[in-house]
Structures are given as C-alpha cells and as structure tokens.
C-alpha cells in the first residue's frame, strides 16, 4: 500500500507572451514508493494581491496528508475542505491550494492503479475538446490591430473558436468585433462575449444586442458577481445562452434554483480541484445544464488535469477555454500538453501523463511577487506599460 510521506512546493514565475508574469506553485506529493503525484496551484496573479507563506503551507499540508493512502480521495477532500473551505468567491486563493493538492492526489491515485487519470474518472467519452482561444480586452487603439493579427495567426494554426473579453472600453470592443468579422468572415467562430462581471446586466445586454449581427454563441458573466437577478434578467432578454463561472457548490445550487443560466463554466482551479468539479458536473447534469471547461490559464500540469476532466465528463459538450501553455513563454514539464487543429488532446501515460523537467523547473523557480504588475493588468491580462 502506497502512503504519502511528504509535500514539496516549488514556486515558479512564467512570463506570458503579452508581457505579464504569473506565479504558480508546483505541488509534488512524495510517497514511500518511487511514485510522485504532481499538481499545480495555477496563476496566482489572480486577485487578491497576496501570496502564501510557502514553508508554512507545506508544513500544514504535510500535517493533513502524511500517512494517507492516495486512493483515499474522499478523505483527502474532506480534510482539504475542513481546512480551506469554499469561500464562494472566484478569486479566493483557498481554492488554488485545494486544487493543487487535489490534482496531485488524483495523479498519484491513477499511477498507483496503473491508469491514465480519465479512466479513474469514469472513462473517456470523447477523444478531444475544441478550444476557444482568448482575445483579451482592448484598452488602446493599438490593441485592436494586435488582437486581429493574433486571431489571424491562430486561425492559421487550426483554431476556429475564440472567446472575446469585453466590458472595459465598449467602443473598442465593438470596433474589434466588427473588424474581425469583416476580415475573417465565417472562418471566425466567436464562442462567447465574456463580460467577466464588469458591467451591470442592463449595460451588458445593451452592448450584446448592439453587436448581435456580428454573431456569437454565448454571453458570459453579464452581471456583477453573485447577481442572480441580473443573470435572470440577461437570460430573459437575450436570445443566446448565458454562461457563468461556478466557484462553489452553493453558487451552483443558487444558479439552478433561479434557473439563471444555460451553461456552467466549470474550472478545475476555480472550484478547487477535480473532486469538487465532479460534484458540479453532477449538479449540472441533474439540472440539464450544458457545461464548458473553464480556466485561469494554467501551465501544462493544470491543463492536463482539465483535459482529463473534459474527456470524462459527459456534460462538457461546449468549446472550452484551457489554453494556458500556449500563452506562456515556458513550461515546467518535459512534454507539454498538445493542441491539434484547435483541439486539446488528453496526454498519454499514467495519471496526468506529465513529467517535471528539472532544468525547466529550476529556470522558472523563484519567490512569488506582485512587483511590476497592476490590478487592472491582472484582470484584463494586459502588459504593464509605464
């Protein structure tokens, strides 16, 4: 019987191609055999602007986990939830802690059984998932042409779906949408307009209606955080499905009770790991809601976890969002996750199918920091300019 004997946390900083740098924590669960479980606390540049005391966190996690059999996934979840409870807030960092550990436990459990992770989650129901590449918000005139050039490049690589972030400068948002449609025609499929809870429901709906002729599949987060009435207003007013991020069990139940959305955006990182994500998918299936796999733009370890979940959950029927490894200039694994003509493939091998590259890990290792980053740059994923 395999037992967990220790927890190793390595902080890394990885630049994105657009200039911002995001911090992550690589989780290694050590055992009394040669097996190691890998996990990832992803993109900790999400708000709020603080970081963990890593030695204290590692000691706390060892106190909770050492001695457990990695197949005791239910007991691991119970202990994590008791010590890092769901806060019902998309930027709460307790969900990042739980996610990193939970992924590592599932990776380790699958390795113990000699299985790829998706088999342990119930078996593969699809062989890939289409990915919607993100178009980050326009805040300056130059951003429009930059994003148009990016879309053209990604279309050439086989991506056809795009998620367009809107809501900061609506005039620039509209200009981008219309120029993109004029330039790319039907080659471009806009999966969603993502308002990220920036606007009130009436303002978001007014903009969505103004650009209806551009064509898009979903409207996401068209109301302030936790504004169920705003989501209901948008769902009744607009003629496309409404999607919202689900970041707690209670929030999922509230959305179902109010019949406020058509689509659950289920992110492994936002909900706190694979174990709670499975519960959200179960709620969605019972309520007959469609799902897509969300993201905070993870490195390959976190993206591999999302891929295995996507392959095993029947309700995950819509184009999804995990594209992080393509946004960063470097990763920490020997063989990053792969994309084939705009589709995310499940990695091969046992567990997650990921193996750390010691040289890449060392190249990215360093203290987590918020220097050279602003709150607006984090929210809108824009390069900090002086």
Using alpha carbons, list the distances in angstroms from residue 356 to 54, 277, 352: 20, 25, 11
Give the predicted TM-score (pTM) of the model.
Answer: 0.95
In a domain, 110, yes or no: yes
Q: Are residues 283 and 156 in the same domain?
A: yes
Residues 45 and 95 in one domain: yes
Q: What three-state secondary structure class fits 24? A: strand
What is the structure's pLDDT at 18? 81
Please say whether the beta carbons of 15 and 347 come within 8 A. no
Q: What is residue 386's predicted lDDT score, i.e. its pLDDT?
A: 40
Domain, as residue range, for 260:
119-352
pLDDT of 380? 64
pLDDT of residue 371: 79
Q: Determine the pLDDT at residue 209.
A: 98
pLDDT at 218: 98
- What phi, psi does 38 have (nearest 5°)? -105, 140
Tens digits of pLDDT across the chain (386 residues)? 899 999 999 999 999 888 788 999 999 999 999 999 999 999 998 878 888 999 999 999 999 999 999 999 999 999 999 999 998 888 889 999 999 999 999 999 999 999 999 999 999 999 999 999 999 998 899 999 999 999 999 999 999 999 999 999 999 999 999 999 999 999 999 999 999 999 999 999 999 999 999 999 999 999 999 999 999 999 999 999 999 999 999 999 999 999 999 999 999 999 999 999 999 999 999 999 999 999 999 999 999 999 999 999 999 999 999 999 999 999 999 999 999 999 999 999 999 999 999 999 999 999 998 876 767 666 666 655 44
Q: Which tokens hold the place of 135?
A: 């178009």
Catalytic sites, residue numbers = 91, 165
CATH number of residue 98's parent domain:
3.30.390.10
Both 170 and 301 in one domain: the answer is: yes
Predicted confidence at residue 379, as pLDDT, reads: 64
- Whether residue 304 is found in the same domain as residue 332: yes
Question: Under a CB-based contact definition with an 8 Å cutoff, are residues 34 and 2 in contact?
Answer: no
My answer on whether 280 and 174 are in the same domain is yes
Helix (H) or strand (E) holding 375: helix 375-380
**Do 124 and 263 belong to one domain?**
yes
Does 360 reside within a domain?
no
63 found inside a domain? yes
Helix %, strand %, coil % of the chain (to 5): 40, 20, 40
Residue-level pLDDT at 84: 95
**pLDDT at residue number 261:** 98
The domain tally of the chain equals 2
């Amino acid at each position: 019987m395999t037992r967990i004997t220790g927890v190793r946390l390595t902080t890394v900083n990885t630049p994105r191609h657009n200039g911002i740098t995001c911090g992550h924590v690589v989780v290694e669960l050590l055992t009394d055999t040669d097996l190691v479980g890998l996990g990832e606390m992803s993109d900790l540049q999400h708000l709020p602007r603080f970081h963990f005391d890593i030695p204290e966190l590692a000691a706390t996690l060892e106190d909770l986990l050492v001695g457990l059999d990695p197949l005791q996934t239910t007991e691991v979840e119970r202990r994590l939830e008791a010590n890092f409870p769901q806060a019902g807030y998309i930027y709460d960092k307790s969900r990042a802690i739980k996610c990193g550990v939970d992924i590592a436990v599932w990776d380790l459990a699958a390795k113990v059984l000699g299985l790829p992770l998706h088999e342990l989650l119930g078996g593969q129901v699809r062989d890939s998932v289409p990915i919607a590449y993100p178009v980050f918000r326009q805040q300056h005139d130059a951003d429009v042409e930059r994003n148009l050039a990016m879309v053209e490049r990604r279309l050439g690589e086989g991506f056809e779906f795009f998620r367009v972030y809107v809501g900061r400068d609506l005039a620039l948002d509209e200009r981008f949408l219309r120029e993109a449609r004029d330039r790319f025609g039907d080659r471009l499929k806009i999966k969603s307009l993502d308002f990220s809870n920036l606007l009130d429901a009436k303002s978001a709906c007014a903009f969505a209606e103004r650009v209806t002729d551009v064509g898009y599949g979903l409207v996401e987060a068209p109301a302030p955080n936790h504004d169920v009435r705003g989501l209901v207003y948008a769902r009744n007013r607009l003629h496309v499905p409404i999607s919202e991020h689900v970041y707690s069990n209670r929030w999922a139940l509230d959305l179902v009770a109010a019949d406020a959305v058509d689509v659950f955006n289920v992110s492994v990182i936002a909900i706190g790991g694979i174990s709670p994500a499975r519960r959200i998918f179960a709620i969605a299936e019972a309520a007959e809601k469609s799902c897509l796999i969300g993201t905070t733009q993870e490195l390959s370890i976190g993206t591999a976890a999302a891929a295995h979940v996507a392959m095993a959950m029947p309700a995950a029927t819509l184009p999804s969002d995990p594209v992080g490894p393509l946004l960063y200039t470097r990763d920490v694994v020997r063989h990053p996750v792969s994309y084939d003509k705009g589709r995310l493939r499940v990695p091969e091998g046992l567990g997650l199918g990921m193996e750390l590259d010691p040289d890449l890990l060392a190249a990215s290792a360093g203290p987590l920091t918020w220097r050279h980053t602003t709150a607006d740059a984090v929210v809108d994923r824009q390069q900090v300019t002086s």
